[in-house]
């Protein structure tokens, strides 16, 4: 259900319970693109550890106003405001894929509200010489390196080889909601995705939340965000537990979400 429409009229915020009934939140930062809905497997995994789910669409997605030139930190601003409005504490901040950097920015800006941080198939800060290696189609991010005009002119397309067989099986099975949400996110236009890509290759404007409990999980066969990114993140977050899932790709590694939420809930 959509919440906080009066308090944040320019934002799209969904939750698994009414705002007044939310308890012990998992804040889910979705991938790129997205529509910002609460995905059923995320809701179920959170419920299994006694938590509700809140999802906040980034600017330019789900009909929200675009904020051209937004940094990662600025892209997380609405999510931080939501936590403030809900006065949420002990939040498990989770970022998947392109949501990972924004989860980092949220945890860094709201340490008093963050109980733990989880990064799933997350993008790492740009700059390592091997940052693009292993991507099935890095062309959009390469265009982003060249600037906003080049990225906006880049044709929006999906390379099927980005997904391994396990990814396709996950999308046809328990994670079909992820594919539907991404498709819906793309239907409102490409500019949210454009702005995400530009933010990833520029300075994020966010510190690393080195004080937060953290878990990083990645598939070894990820062709969208290669596992090098997980290792780079682990080097920047020395307190993090790093888990690599053999044979999993960008989507299929999400089938381990219950395991990782359970580990964080157990402390």
User: What residues form DSSP beta bridges with 215?
Assistant: 118, 241
- Nearest-5° Cα angle at 7, 71 to 198: 15
Residue 142, H or E segment: helix 139-145
Cα–Cα distance measured from residue 264 to residue 58, given in angstroms and rounded to the nearest whole number: 25
* Structural domains of the chain, ranges and CATH numbers in brackets: 2-265 (3.40.50.1820)
Question: The tokens of 27 are what?
Answer: 């804040």
Other C-beta atoms lying within 10 Å of the C-beta of residue 264: 19
Side-chain half-sphere exposure of 166, counting CA atoms within 13 A = 17
Kindly tell me the burial class for residue 90, based on how many C-beta atoms sit within 10 Å of its own C-beta (0-12, 13-18, 19 or more). exposed
Report residue 118 CA to chain centroid gap: 10
Per-residue pLDDT of the chain (267 residues; tens, 9 = 90+): 999 999 999 999 999 999 999 999 999 999 999 999 999 999 999 999 999 999 999 999 999 999 999 999 999 999 999 999 999 999 999 999 999 999 999 999 999 999 999 999 999 999 999 999 999 999 999 999 999 999 999 999 999 999 999 999 999 999 999 999 999 998 888 999 999 999 999 999 999 999 999 999 999 999 999 999 999 999 999 999 999 999 999 999 999 999 999 998 766
**Cut 0.95: pTM above it:** yes
Cα–Cα distance measured from residue 208 to residue 106, given in angstroms and rounded to the nearest whole number: 10
């Amino acid at each position: 259900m959509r919440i906080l429409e009066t308090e944040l009229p320019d934002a799209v915020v969904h939750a698994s319970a009414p705002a007044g009934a939310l308890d012990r939140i998992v804040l889910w930062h979705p991938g790129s693109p997205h529509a910002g809905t609460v995905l059923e497997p995320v809701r179920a995994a959170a419920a299994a550890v006694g938590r509700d789910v809140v999802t906040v669409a980034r600017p330019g997605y789900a009909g929200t106003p675009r904020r051209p030139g937004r940094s990662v930190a600025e892209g997380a601003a609405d999510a931080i405001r939501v936590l403030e409005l809900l006065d949420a504490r002990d939040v498990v901040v989770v970022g998947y894929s392109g949501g990972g950097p924004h989860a980092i920015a949220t945890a860094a800006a709201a340490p008093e509200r963050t109980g733990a941080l989880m990064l799933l198939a997350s993008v790492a800060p740009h700059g390592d010489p091997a940052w693009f290696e292993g991507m099935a189609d890095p062309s959009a991010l390469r265009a982003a390196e060249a600037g906003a005009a080049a990225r906006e002119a880049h044709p929006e397309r999906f390379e099927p080889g980005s997904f391994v067989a396990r990814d396709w099986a996950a999308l046809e099975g328990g994670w079909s909601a992820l594919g539907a949400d991404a498709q819906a996110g793309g239907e409102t236009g490409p500019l949210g995705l454009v702005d995400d890509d530009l933010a990833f290759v520029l300075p994020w404007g966010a510190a690393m939340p080195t004080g937060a409990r953290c878990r990083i999980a990645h598939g070894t066969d990820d062709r969208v965000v290669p596992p090098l990114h997980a290792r780079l993140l682990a080097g920047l977050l020395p307190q993090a537990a790093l888990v690599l899932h053999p044979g999993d790709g960008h989507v299929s590694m999400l089938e381990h979400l219950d395991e990782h939420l359970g580990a964080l809930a157990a402390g």
